[in-house]
Amino acid sequence: MKSNMLGPDAPRASQGASASIVTATADSLPEQPHALARARAFAEPLIASEALDTGENILAHADAVVGILKAIGGSEAMQAAIYLVHSCQHLNKPQEVIAKAFGASYAALAVETTKLVYVQRQARAAGADAQLLDDPAAQTENVRKMLLAFSRDLRVVMLRLASRLQTLRYYAATRQSAPAALAHESLHVFAPLANRLGIWQLKWEMEDLAFRFLEPDTYKQTARLLDEKRVEREGFMEALRAQLERELNQNGIAALVQGRPKHIYSIVKKMRGKSLDFEQVFDIRALRVIAADVSGCYAALGFVHSRFTPIEGEFDDYIAKPKPNGYQSLHTVVRDEAGRAVEVQIRTQAMHDHAEHGVAAHWAYKEAGTKGYSGVSASSEYDAKIAVLRQLLAWERDLSGPAAQRASEAKQGLFEDRIYVLTPDAAIVELPQGATAVDFAYSVHTSLGHRCRGARIDGGMVPLNTPLQNGQTVEVITAKEGGPSRDWLNPELGFLSSNRAKSKVRAWFNALAMEQTVAKGREAVEKLLQREGKTAMKLDDLALQLGFKAADDLFEVVGKDELSLRTIENMLRPPEPVLSQDDYVLAKKARQPGKSSQRGKGNVLVVGIDSLLTQLARCCKPAPPDEILGFVTKGKGVSIHRSDCSNFRNMASGSPDRVIEVEWGSPKTPDGAVYPVDVAVEAADRQGLLRDISEVFTKEKMNVIGVQTQSVKDNRGGTAWMTFTVEVAQSGRLNQVLGIVADVPGVRSARRR
């Protein structure tokens, strides 16, 4: 039975898969014992009886793709992944099931590959006509999808290339004609990608097969021309190969000489590009020289040029100046004694391995360990990723050349809206065009953006507002803590380009402003509680009594001046206290007109009123020589307040006719009277703080008759609020003692309430 797969060469994303797509990691797949056999056994019951839209059995397709991956140096882990890719459509929750059986890395790679295939299939179906007309916008969109796939996992496209090649092979083996859209996509998207990655084995074969389906007549005609004199040509080339290898070694140049395969599509391209006849195409007869090292390459070149006649203008040194995809080799064309042109390529074994496998060699080394594959020299994951990224960006620039104008007319931007850069760990980061290192930092992590203080691009220090370019490696220099600069939000300074980064910076400053508002409100409320002698009250309880869910909500409205402190004072203000006999002080008669003031036995003289009872107000606890005023209460005599008492001001504003002038009288005893006053101390909370402050009052001979303390944890580590009630004869003396208290370690302020 046939299965409606994701394109002709891979499975469709199931509903479960599309619902659970996640970004794959870029780390190498973990090697597991018998991973390939386990993966095949896992997939076989699911796909053995299923077929692709092409008619090819899915299990057979996967087996063939494994062979392709193995040929280009793919690890067993990568080979195993292809079976998991084809299993996705048959699992309700592929991400979870595969992760449980093989680990998260395998699951992410399989699902991400399935997702890419699904997107490409849709694009191919929707834009088949445009692609067949070489529409640059359609080609660009395909490149964009490839690049986005690489930004998630570099191995995704490796699996796609191998799968596509197998699909073309299947059509050729079964003598079917491949769909024109698929063949066109293979020739103009997949093969150029393999070329940019330097995977020549895949590139040449994919080009020839796709060209065979797109232009069957031209393909057959060129193949027939190659076959006409094949025996004669191959005999000549074998004799020339053996002769050149023998002569090189006899002249002290260690080298192997090989024949080079003929690729029909490249021959046709040369014939069309240079208007040549078949016999004028040089690489119909071609040899490849593998030298021991670079110096051996140039020595071999010198010998070839001395032994044969070089053709002018047909020499290229790709060793001194490699191709954009990293390809290195010496190319020359010479004529033998009979005038026949022969192309000769000269390279080292390492250059040859890279030419054959390209970026795949990086994965081969990464996933095989220090031994590598096929003599591939040691590399790193970073080298692989940056090589891939730069080749894809070069590919994009190729498309941006002659096709740019047509694409612009079609209103299709050629990657003008985004760039791709790398982290120091070689992770690929997608950013908007014009992005800076600050945008980069915020795209990696919000905290990294907040703490960004400098940047290196490709190892060199640059200003933070320097626009980034495609393919650069960006390293952010951070502070241990801190936040963004307000300058970053100034568009004229050019620090930020991405909306994400701008919103993160604005959010930080909004949170900072809110924090400052809350801190301001907290300070005002706590000072009010100290004045009212309510420091023991829990702040959350106070907020609830005022109708707020939490203390910070109360502090916010107080900090914004949306709630008056008088409202809190009125709620906290105690009723007028019932006075005891000890609270009364006998007042003297007021001064009569024309007479001097008289002082009696009491401590307070009430002006203009005969003997009235007086009481010292508990809210402000006045003491000589404070300026005082009296307020006539109903049936309880005169309440004496400090002139700066807020309670007194509130009462006086409501009943100004009950305010009378008062002054201090003579002390009752020779030793002098004492008065209770409250002292508020704010300090950093620590062990022994209460003891140290109490010792100050003891040394200064001030009697402490009451203490209230409260500790609050805050961003400074902890704050202690203390209220001491001490007895003083003169409030002026108290100011001197408070200066000594302020010098106690940790004390931030000491004042009279």
For residue 79, the model assigns a pLDDT of 86
CA-wise closest residue to 735 among 686, 700, 688, 692: 700
- Three-class HEC string of 184-213: HHHHHHHHHHHHHCCCHHHHHHHHHHHHHH
Lookup: tokens for 173: 């083996």
List the one residue out of 681, 686, 700, 687 whose CA is nearest residue 742: 681
Angle at the Cα of 133 from the Cα atoms of 131 and 138, rounded to 5 degrees: 35
**DSSP 3-state assignment of 470?**
coil
- Per DSSP, 308 falls in state S
Distant-in-sequence, close-in-space partners of 135: CB < 8 Å, separation ≥ 6: 127, 410
Structure tokens at 94: 């592929």
What is the distance, to the nearest Å, from the Cα of residue 713 to the centroid of all Cα atoms in its chain? 33
What integer pLDDT is reported at residue 5 of this predicted model? Answer: 36
Number of C-alpha atoms within 13 angstroms, CB side, residue 102?
Answer: 33
- Encode pLDDT of 151-178 as tens digits: 455 677 778 889 999 999 999 999 998 8
| Each residue's pLDDT tens digit, 706-743 | 888 777 776 667 788 888 888 887 777 888 888 888 88
pLDDT at 141 over 90: no
Q: What is the pLDDT of residue 235?
A: 77
Distance in angstroms (rounded) separating the CA atoms of residues 612 and 638 = 7
Measured CA to CA, the distance from residue 236 to residue 285 in angstroms comes to 9
d(CA 84, CA 94): 9
Q: How far, in Å, CA of 328 to CA of 320, rounded?
A: 8
Rounded to an integer, the average pLDDT of 629-633 is 87
Number of separate helices (H) and strands (E) present in the chain: 29, 21
Q: Are 435 and 500 in contact (CB under 8 A)?
A: no
| 481-520 tens-digit pLDDT | 888 998 998 988 999 988 889 999 999 888 888 888 888 9
Examine the pLDDT at 303 and tell me if it is beyond 90.
Answer: yes
Tokens 């590919």 — which residue?
395
Q: Give this prediction's pTM.
A: 0.47
The first and second tokens of residue 397, run together, are: 């620039």
**Which residue do the tokens 């490249």 mark?**
266
Residue 707, phi then psi, degrees to nearest 5: -140, 135
CB within 8 A of 704, min separation 6: which ones? 694, 697, 698, 724, 725, 726
Mean pLDDT, rounded, for 567-573: 72
- The CA distance from 64 to 79, in Å, is 10
What confidence tens digit (pLDDT) does each residue in 94-129 have? 888 888 888 888 888 788 777 767 666 665 565 544
Q: What are the phi and psi torsion angles at 276 (to 5°)?
A: -105, 155
What pLDDT is recorded for position 142? 52
Kindly state the percentage of the chain with pLDDT values over 70.
71
**Domains along the chain with CATH numbers:** 15-199 (1.10.3210.10), 225-357 (3.30.460.10), 418-497 (3.10.20.30), 508-572 (no CATH), 581-664 (no CATH), 675-752 (3.30.70.260)
Share of the chain above pLDDT 90, in %: 17
* Per-residue pLDDT tens digits for 643-653: 888 888 888 88
